[in-house]
Structure 1
């Protein structure tokens, strides 16, 4: 067994050595960071922003042995890759913007001004990419938000609220009430990922045994595959609890909401749990909220199916903001046949990144559409 572990470790290190010649690690303002340099680095920098992490999980940058491999599309193209773990986990979009900017400043102070600087990120990190282009765009030539948390934060997380609210009407007894989830408890401990996955598995078994056709219909309402409903619920519960703890109360309110497109809309609206907000949205969502005001190339990459951030939540609301600001020339959406959240191949990521780089280099806007 020890020989197998040693072999795997050496193999991982060997694969890493092919992509990176130097590593810089440290901590700034309580946030660990890691910077990877390719062989014969020529001054190009990619700032990378990671996605949502369950509280208490191992950071996927500074302490993850597979992170360098995931950065291969950028390292192979001669870019140094710098990423912050952020000072706290969970929903940390504003924190991620600030910590990424501080790390960029550290990089410039230590290694000099790069000849080009781009930014990319997955999921919440895609939202951080967009917010960075909106607020610190003067330091970048362009960005690539992937499967991004792109719309306004309240509206994006409200999806989790409505998912649980309506699920509890159709499948009572499997999820906590909104009141329980959204009541602020100063000493509450965050759920760990293993517990959330275990809960999802038990929910899946119970609801499919009760009424599999009803599960399929409910899933379609939220653009989900039926087998993804349980995990989306468990993930959403964790997000809502996280928001409440960081906001000091509940920012969500459905007392005036009319739920539609269900088989029995009257029944749904009469039975759904109604809950009023106890704190304003600004407590958590105001800093770096979306503006749509960008003046650098932003190439969005999205999968055809995403169980956590469906394309219509990610693309349409932000596209509206882009159009309101007359910034369409700086915004392009590319899509893949991927089935799952941020489920891109290395080749697809590389192709999209090449299109962004060409756009930045030539000034000719990339073409929206499909990437094989």
Structure 2
């Protein structure tokens, strides 16, 4: 195995005999007690994920808001101190550089959270475009990130802090929250389709918070989770994964995150004209949900057909644990994306019937 980075929880994973994989250049667990077990724990109680492989950048200086407005598809001016904003960065042709979160401290100071596999690419992209007045810093190896997700997430974390976590609204955050005595940033965000919190703390303090949460949260049903469950959870909630539903050749509009694309904001951003053209001319392809009719699981990159015509491919597919059905997300020619349309998925050389269904597959009540 090539030289891989590890997070602060590496020794914990070894002690649990977790199944470790290469994920974005980091050695991380795909599962600890089993993907389905971890998935169901998040849907019914709570799970804790180590996502310290994610990248964190500081963007600071006079004109930081203006700079981010020119780089991002969403309207950064709408983010006030204490707000978290989901957005994308695009190339001139509308392809996606990355999707990310922006934390607004003030108009001169932001924190960006980017996908692990894109850290170097994103940092170079931002640095190349930044004016001299803007300082872009890569803090990815200084900041650890733990995600606590599920109906009992807030209850679990509340046991290690005096801060009123319920006062943090969705897509808001609080700085300088003491978690088990450790100064942390706490965000009401996540990637599972459930309520939850993301906890940013110093790299060398992550184990202390992790251990305290597992001990105190056990009575709430909190268990440690790997990235396999994180993927099935986000898939059911139809949250895109970069490299699958988003890429340099798939635009945010095609991926179905048009809510994070504000082509009417007064400032031009990279890719704006291409996205306007896609909007006004109509999308030629888009991501849709698939439900298998025949017995088969639609896996990533399986080709999709209408008769003899290839109309796209599966981007993500699995047997969805909450729903118990074989489901997929697929990027298809738009003329074949109407709900109820039947298509064929090429599963290892055999055509299997599927139909287009509504997404998200799961939405919490």
> Which structure's residues are more often helix, by fraction?
1
Higher RCO by CA contacts (8 Å cutoff, separation 6 or greater): 2
Q: TM-score range, shorter-chain basis?
A: under 0.3
TM-score of the aligned structures, taking structure 2 as reference length: 0.25
TM-score of the aligned structures, taking structure 1 as reference length: 0.25
